[in-house]
Amino acid sequence: MGSYVYDFAEGGRDMADLLGGKGANLAEMARMGLPVPPGFTITTEACRVFLATGELPAGLDREVVEHLAALERAAGKRLGQVDDPLLLSVRSGARFSMPGMMETILDIGLNDLSVLGLAKIPDRERFAWDSYRRLVQMFGSTVMGVDGSLFEDVLRRVKDQHRVEDDSHLDVCDLMRIVEMFKDLILERTGSAFPQDPTEQLRQAILAVFASWNGERARLYRRREHIPDGLGTAVNIQCMVFGNLGSDSGSGVAFTRDPATGRPGLYGDYLPNAQGEDVVSGVRDAVPLQELATLDPVSFARLRGYMGQLETHYRDLCDIEFTIEHGVLWMLQTRVGKRTAQAAFSIASQLADEGLISTDEALARVDGDMLARLMFPRFDTGVAAPVLTRGIPASPGAAVGVVVFDSGEAVRRAAAGEEVVLVRQETTPDDLPGMIAAQAVLTSRGGKTSHAAVVARGMGKVCVCGADALAIDLGARRFSVGDVVVSEGETISVDGFEGFVRLGAVPLVDSAVMSYFEAGSPAPDAAVQEGVPEVHRLMEHADATRRLGVRANADTPQDAARARRFGAEGIGLCRTEHMFLGARRPLVEAMILAPTENDREVALAALLPLQREDFTGILAAMDGLPVTIRLLDPPLHEFLPDRTDLAVRLARDEALGRTQDPRDTELLAAVTRMHEENPMLGLRGVRLGLVKRGLVAMQVRAIAEAVVARKRAGGDPRAEIMVPLVGAVEELHLVRQEVEEVLSTVARETGVPVTCPIGTMIELPRAALTAGRIASRAEFFSFGTNDLTQTTWGFSRDDVEAEFFAAYLDKGIFETSPFETIDREGVGRLVEIAVREGRAARPDLNIGVCGEHGGDPSSVHFFHEAGLDYVSCSPFRVPVARLEAGRAAL
């Protein structure tokens, strides 16, 4: 059995799985010789044993005692000793940062005796009793489970008695009284006394941290961030240092570059005479880190040195927590810092310029989700909307929503389909559900490192914090700025780029990155401030690196042209059904309802020139690039009116004694005749082509004539014809014969050769499993992963998302919807089989994917690994797919 406890001197940054991020990085800093208060880490393995058995692993207690003894020797103090006792902090620290989601207990080691010892040190009497008060309160609520508000009530009562507002105005006698009242409260509520034995305090605190892994907010956060539930947290036990010992002490947070924009420099907040938690919680407003240069130049110079050292060592933006105790600087934490999407591109690119990382590594450090965020719109600055107030722009983006004042209301309104902005004085981890539900978070207190800012940045939500002109009246559910009063439910616009808050809904315009893609220009010029050059640089590298081609799903010339500007190398799916809607519906109806062959031919003949025009436009927009046109796929009744609507209309006419429209009667009869219980498994796709005579011929003729028209116009049309929903090679064989016949007829009629590759979608499990045979009749495959997911799982793609997927996600059956990210194990296996057997039968088989997964970052990596030739996705996802295809090839 391995050890469950590691001294900081024994660990390192590569041990984050075992020691958690915080523990591994503390060990790394200790190893680098930075001043880290001594401590040790209990491993995530111990947590996993606890989560599985409900007990601490055998031998852990003994190991903790041994490490504690070593710590006491190093510190020259003992836990619980009656004069100047050793005090410990006990903090969670998982593999992936989960800010504020789990428990922390400070000042372990104080009890009725040691508090007296601490109080005897000159100038420490009040500090000792305040620390003891904090410990009993924190321990009582987080470890012993007493409702935290009961402690707050006691505190408020005492403050009211003395008519004081702030804790700092309470004197030693008050604090002593409060400690007694807190202890009574714990005994009364739990039946157990606050433990006086410091080792017992430590043991219980460790258990509480482990248990907090499964706390509600931690679980919610993990689900949202896709952090696996089975990892567990480590526990870091460390000698306390104090930033609240007077004006020569303080706590701060520092970033080696600006986490919002990525600009190099010195960023952070410093709070004199305060503990670390005070900075992060935003309860008191911090000063910019630069002011430390005048407050404590020696510590400032040291800190700057360490920051440089850390950034070079980690080769990335680091965020740092530090404390100064009586002029001595201590490093309490570092990690590779969270950043906005814009900062991620900027920093990766800068570090590559600085030679600290390679361009490949720079590409690995950005991703498609970040790029998608940079493509979101921003507010139209040309619209004069008066500014209500301004705060600190902590997480960029433009958000419009109605004001809500608490997490519950945010969740309720968002569930009802409203876009909301959560407005709080400051946020706490309890606000997490509301932050997830909201478009933006606006706070009146706290800086760039406040809870609201850190969490919103991590989630990619818009956040403006520290808007101190905002006076929130929670009782009346409104806030005011000067004379302007804004009530719950009113709409505001929050600009996370500039920090402005405006009344009403300000219109949106394209972001600079979006404009860059829209321009389709190789060299970005303006908008340097929005990171366009960095995006350009990394996109170029992705394009040079990727093996996968990227096409778009588009069925209008406009979409095709945009996709091309965005870098699409062709169309992977042109859905022809979209061309059967709108003004053409009557023609389609006539075709479907045609009583005789002749009538149907007339209707089809009317549709033919329209389809030809559609295809000609698209082939022109994609001149020289492949355009995969899919034959009609959906069940025909989708083009007819709804059966219930029709029945109601006819019944109403009858009830009102009106004459019924004979067309309605005819339509109802047809719709009823064509009704299917499971239309997605019914008469659609290739089946339609096989039983509805003339349909395939009309569509293929339109394609062929469009090719001829483009060739005659001097173009280079590259149409490909794709057959949907094939399950058996025989189906494809029959349709293919008809397609080939029409192509050669048109070639004969026009004297222009028309050769189009003919291929099929692979979107049924049977097609994947018989891909070898199907490939004998197909020049290309395109995976329709929407239908393939639907038919493999047996989930209706139109119904499931709303109802039971939430429960499935909650229960961990899957981490993301299989309609969003490809299910590698099941659907992915079918893809792999089809690729292997298809290529074995036809080595030059061209293979792509055109389901929604083609634009999903994680799925793109899968398709790369599976050996596909290209992915195809909606035009707006094309840049994301290009970037991810590049990353997949690294």
User: Would you name the residues annotated as active-site residues?
Assistant: 451, 850
Coil, strand, or helix at residue 594?
Answer: coil
Residue whose entry in the numeric block shows the structure tokens 């809870």: 451
Stretch that binds ligand PEP, among 321-329, 778-786, 802-810, 838-846 (CB under 6 A): 778-786
Provide the minimum distance between the beta carbon of 831 and ligand PEP in the complex, in angstroms, as a whole number: 12
Provide the minimum distance between the beta carbon of 723 and ligand PEP in the complex, in angstroms, as a whole number: 12
Provide the minimum distance between the beta carbon of 722 and ligand PEP in the complex, in angstroms, as a whole number: 10
**CA-CA distance, 401 to 631, in Å (whole number)?**
42
Q: Which of ligand PEP, Mg ion, none has residue 575 at its interface (CB below 5 to 8 Å by kind)?
A: ligand PEP
Q: Which of ligand PEP, Mg ion, none has residue 555 at its interface (CB below 5 to 8 Å by kind)?
A: none
Q: By C-beta, is 686 or 698 nearer to Mg ion?
A: 686
Residue 754, CB-side half-sphere exposure with 13 Å CA sphere: 30
- Quote the tokens at residue 324: 């100064």
Stretch that binds ligand PEP, among 278-286, 380-388, 609-617, 782-790 (CB under 6 A): 782-790
Task: Verify binding: residue 577, Mg ion, rule CB under 5 A.
Answer: no
**CA-CA distance, 587 to 666, in Å (whole number)?**
15
Q: Which of ligand PEP, Mg ion, none has residue 823 at its interface (CB below 5 to 8 Å by kind)?
A: none
- Smallest Cα–Cα separation from 686: which of 620, 613, 609, 764? 764
Task: Verify binding: residue 477, ligand PEP, rule CB under 6 A.
Answer: no
C-alpha separations of 725 from 361, 462, 600, 789 in Å: 41, 42, 24, 13
Q: By C-beta, is 49 or 725 nearer to Mg ion?
A: 725
411 residue type, one letter: V
Site for ligand PEP in 537-576 (CB under 6 A): 573, 575
Stretch that binds ligand PEP, among 293-301, 315-323, 520-528, 780-788 (CB under 6 A): 780-788
The rounded radius of gyration (Å) of the Cα atoms in the chain is 33
Reported as type and span, the H/E element at residue 235 is strand 233-239
How many residues in the shown chain lie near ligand PEP by CB under 6 A? Answer: 10
Reported as type and span, the H/E element at residue 301 is helix 297-314
C-alpha separations of 512 from 199, 217, 392, 843 in Å: 58, 36, 21, 43
- Name, in order, each residue with C-beta under 8 angstroms of 5's C-beta and a sequence gap of 6 or more: 40, 41, 42, 43, 46, 60, 63, 64, 66, 67
Residues pairing with 402 in the sheet: 420, 491
**CA-CA distance, 599 to 592, in Å (whole number)?**
10
- Quote the tokens at residue 462: 């818009």
Q: By C-beta, is 487 or 786 nearer to ligand PEP?
A: 786
Query: Among residues 784, 848, 855, 875, which is the contact residue for ligand PEP, using CB under 6 A?
Result: 784
Q: Which of ligand PEP, Mg ion, none has residue 850 at its interface (CB below 5 to 8 Å by kind)?
A: ligand PEP
Query: Among residues 131, 785, 821, 858, which is the contact residue for ligand PEP, using CB under 6 A?
Result: 785
Query: Among residues 81, 786, 816, 817, which is the contact residue for ligand PEP, using CB under 6 A?
Result: 786
Residue 671, CB-side half-sphere exposure with 13 Å CA sphere: 18
Q: By C-beta, is 235 or 573 nearer to ligand PEP?
A: 573
Task: Verify binding: residue 763, Mg ion, rule CB under 5 A.
Answer: yes
Q: By C-beta, is 281 or 785 nearer to ligand PEP?
A: 785
- Name, in order, each residue with C-beta under 8 angstroms of 482's C-beta and a sequence gap of 6 or more: 469
Provide the minimum distance between the beta carbon of 851 and Mg ion in the complex, in angstroms, as a whole number: 7
Q: Which of Mg ion, ligand PEP, none has residue 565 at its interface (CB below 5 to 8 Å by kind)?
A: none
Provide the minimum distance between the beta carbon of 615 and ligand PEP in the complex, in angstroms, as a whole number: 18
For 307-376, give the DSSP string: HHHHHHHHTS-EEEEEEEETTEEEEEEEEEPP--HHHHHHHHHHHHHTTSS-HHHHHHT--HHHHHHHTS
- Quote the tokens at residue 136: 């009993």
Provide the minimum distance between the beta carbon of 679 and Mg ion in the complex, in angstroms, as a whole number: 13
Provide the minimum distance between the beta carbon of 855 and ligand PEP in the complex, in angstroms, as a whole number: 11
Provide the minimum distance between the beta carbon of 363 and ligand PEP in the complex, in angstroms, as a whole number: 28
C-alpha separations of 133 from 165, 178, 249, 416 in Å: 17, 7, 20, 43
**CA-CA distance, 118 to 124, in Å (whole number)?**
7
Provide the minimum distance between the beta carbon of 486 and ligand PEP in the complex, in angstroms, as a whole number: 43
Q: Determine whether 391 is exposed, middle or buried from the number of CB atoms within 10 Å of its CB (0-12, 13-18, 19+).
A: buried
- Smallest Cα–Cα separation from 345: which of 268, 257, 266, 267? 257
User: With b meaning 16 or more CB within 10 Å and e meaning fewer, what string describes 65-81?
Assistant: eebbeebbeebebbbbb
Provide the minimum distance between the beta carbon of 502 and ligand PEP in the complex, in angstroms, as a whole number: 40
Stretch that binds ligand PEP, among 323-331, 490-498, 649-657, 781-789 (CB under 6 A): 781-789
Q: By C-beta, is 420 or 871 nearer to ligand PEP?
A: 871
Task: Verify binding: residue 660, ligand PEP, rule CB under 6 A.
Answer: no
Coil, strand, or helix at residue 94?
Answer: strand
**CA-CA distance, 13 to 128, in Å (whole number)?**
35
Provide the minimum distance between the beta carbon of 206 and ligand PEP in the complex, in angstroms, as a whole number: 50
Reported as type and span, the H/E element at residue 608 is helix 597-621
Task: Verify binding: residue 555, Mg ion, rule CB under 5 A.
Answer: no
Site for ligand PEP in 573-632 (CB under 6 A): 573, 575
Task: Verify binding: residue 103, Mg ion, rule CB under 5 A.
Answer: no
Q: By C-beta, is 336 or 573 nearer to ligand PEP?
A: 573
- Smallest Cα–Cα separation from 451: which of 568, 601, 597, 276? 276
Beginning with the edge strand found earlier in the chain, give each strand of the sheet holding 88-94 in spatial order. 5-7, 39-42, 233-239, 88-94, 104-108
Q: By C-beta, is 202 or 827 nearer to Mg ion?
A: 827
Provide the minimum distance between the beta carbon of 791 and Mg ion in the complex, in angstroms, as a whole number: 9
Q: By C-beta, is 287 or 680 nearer to Mg ion?
A: 680
How many residues in the shown chain lie near Mg ion by CB under 5 A? Answer: 3
Site for ligand PEP in 629-648 (CB under 6 A): 633
**CA-CA distance, 401 to 418, in Å (whole number)?**
8
- Smallest Cα–Cα separation from 78: which of 86, 70, 67? 86
Site for Mg ion in 769-808 (CB under 5 A): 784, 787
Q: Which of ligand PEP, Mg ion, none has residue 785 at its interface (CB below 5 to 8 Å by kind)?
A: ligand PEP
Q: Which of Mg ion, ligand PEP, none has residue 409 at its interface (CB below 5 to 8 Å by kind)?
A: none
Site for Mg ion in 16-75 (CB under 5 A): none
Residues near ligand PEP (CB under 6 A) are 573, 575, 633, 763, 784-787, 850-851
Residues near Mg ion (CB under 5 A) are 763, 784, 787
